Amino acid sequence: MEDTQNTFRGPHGEVHFAWMVDEYPVYRRGWAWYLVADIIGAGMVLYALVTLNFLFALIVVIFGIVLTLSAARRPVRLRFAVTEDGLEMGHRFVPWKDLSRFSVVYDPPAVKTLYFDFKSAMVPDLAVPLEQMNPNVVRKALLTYIDEDLTRDSEPVTDYLARVLKF
């Protein structure tokens, strides 16, 4: 993993920080996790068949197939950069004018994440793992462009459940 903390010019202005992140979080699931998931899935399919709810049975089977296929796929490593014009994540660019605020949730080793809230309510928050970056240095650079949300001191419930349940 290569982190960049020296500023240089890029296509979206001066780049203050850049580091590599996974496209989505990867959780290590042991055989016990898959056994429990299979038992729960089989129980749900059995319940659906007993109650003659074939659509629910089909949805559970499709969910199991998607979960199996996604476990076999590895996430793409993307370059995340904080620039003077906005944020770069892979080939995606988000200008500062589209963002309302950011927050840092830092509770190592479990949670080291940078959250960005969009002005549009239709766009979900952007969660970026800090990896080995110093959160205080990144926070200081971000404060020159965007306000910080000091009320968020923990990760969202959905992120917590995804991490605990390894989804």
Specify if 51 maps to a domain. Answer: yes
142 and 98 in a common domain: yes
Which stretches in the chain have pLDDT values below 70?
1-11
Domain count, the chain: 2
112 and 36 in a common domain: no
Q: What is the pLDDT of residues 40-75, one digit of tens each?
A: 999 999 999 999 999 999 999 999 999 888 888 888
Specify if 166 maps to a domain. Answer: no
Strand partners, 18: 4, 81
CA-CA-CA-CA dihedral for 83, 147, 125, 115, to nearest 10 = 70
Specify if 164 maps to a domain. Answer: no
pLDDT of residue 143: 93
The letter for the amino acid at 137 is: V
65 and 44 in a common domain: yes
pLDDT of residue 11: 67
Specify if 136 maps to a domain. Answer: yes
| Domain coverage including residue 64 | 31-72
Specify if 163 maps to a domain. Answer: no
131 and 59 in a common domain: no
